[in-house]
Structure 1
Amino acid sequence: MSANDPEVRFDERFSDPGAGATPWETVREVLESAQLFWITTVRSDGRPHVTPLVAVWLDGQLHFTTGSEEQKAVNLDRNRQVALATGCNHWDRGLDVVVEGLAERVTARPALERLAAAWTTKWNGEWRFRVTAEGFAHQDGGEALVFAVRPAKVLAFAKGGFGQTAYRFDGDRTAEPRT
């Protein structure tokens, strides 16, 4: 296992007999190809805020954008803990994936340029951004902050042969497996 590979734990309590851990490569492919994620942030009064968004998996991190006045940006100003989920709405097939971690602003121009190119490529040019000093600008001129989430924990829920697998990364390896 390399330093970048997650620690993998299969949870038999929430899995069908005979099921096995979902390989990290399969989970990573879902993160790379997913067109929609649901992000959960926390409001100042502790209530969750959940909203859909598009994201890009690049360099082992999940990246997303938000306007500076949007609720998720306001929430992230106070609490950077997030969960991003993707999957399908079928109970008996597919793979649902949840990424937990801290959202960090991305402001370095080389990173922003790579991310802008990744967004353009992933959506065949439908999501185009211009790099600015603060993040991105949309084609229509609207500004967007850019965030990266380096996973602390990723959960994969296989369906139709149910299996639950947890992947822990660097900073979260001392914790006992919880789901």
Structure 2
Amino acid sequence: MRPTSERIDRRYSDEAGQAVPWTEAEARLAVAELAWVVTVRPDGRPHATPMVPVFHDSKVYFHTGSTEVKYANIQANPHVLVLAGDTAWERGLDVAVEGTVAPVTDDALLRKLAELYRGRWDGRWELEIKDGAVVSDMPDTDIVVFEVTPSKAFAHAKGDPFSQTNYRL
């Protein structure tokens, strides 16, 4: 995916700051072992939780149980914010992606995502796919994989120099 707009925001950047190319922001998302997903509760309050993401074909994917708060929030409002980065001040790149989510039910895509999960961590995030769904080992809970289709993103380069890049996607 190529952004339709990619510009440095001088209000939040050092004079020497440069725009971060979208390819670098995508690379940061691709290696994130953990990210935060922010959903909106029905009463308008935010809900943030860490999750294990997979980045594939310019989209972020995550899974959750059908009895979790973020699942209920998504059912009422599909708009999310995904944050990947770290808490360091003088180094690194933080990326925030705004978008809408939809459940993934395509068997081939689910199998590809399961393969990507298997190749990233120590084996604790393995997904079994059958007939277009994740096989759940939790009683009375379905596991749903969501695809985040981004609409806007921000990259915050930290250190010397600091910069903020805004993307329209």
TM-score by structure 2 length? 0.92
Which secondary structure state, in structure 2, belongs to the residue aligned with residue 150 of structure 1?
strand
Which secondary structure state, in structure 1, belongs to the residue aligned with residue 144 of structure 2?
strand
CA RMSD of superposed structures (Å):
1.3
What is the distance in 1 between the residues matched to 2:8 and 2:67? Answer: 40
* Deviation (angstroms), 1:159: 0.6
Which secondary structure state, in structure 1, belongs to the residue aligned with residue 128 of structure 2?
strand
* Deviation (angstroms), 1:134: 6.0
Map 1:19-168 to 2 at 5 A: 19-133=17-131, 135-137=133-135, 141-142=137-138, 143-160=142-159, 161-168=161-168
Q: Name structure 1 gaps, 5 residues minimum.
A: 170-179
What is the distance in 1 between the residues matched to 2:12 and 2:75? Answer: 35
* Deviation (angstroms), 1:125: 3.1
Tell me, yes or no, if the aligned pair for 2:78 and 2:100 is still in contact at 8 Å: yes
What is the distance in 2 between the residues matched to 1:77 and 1:126? Answer: 27
Identity %: 41
What is the distance in 1 between the residues matched to 2:23 and 2:132? Answer: 33
After superposition, give the CA deviation of every residue in 1:82-138 in whole Å (9 maximum; x if it has no partner). Answer: 001011111121111101000111011111111111111122533111113463235
Size of the alignment, in residue pairs? 164
Which secondary structure state, in structure 2, belongs to the residue aligned with residue 122 of structure 1?
coil
Amino acid corresponding to residue 97 of structure 1 in structure 2:
V
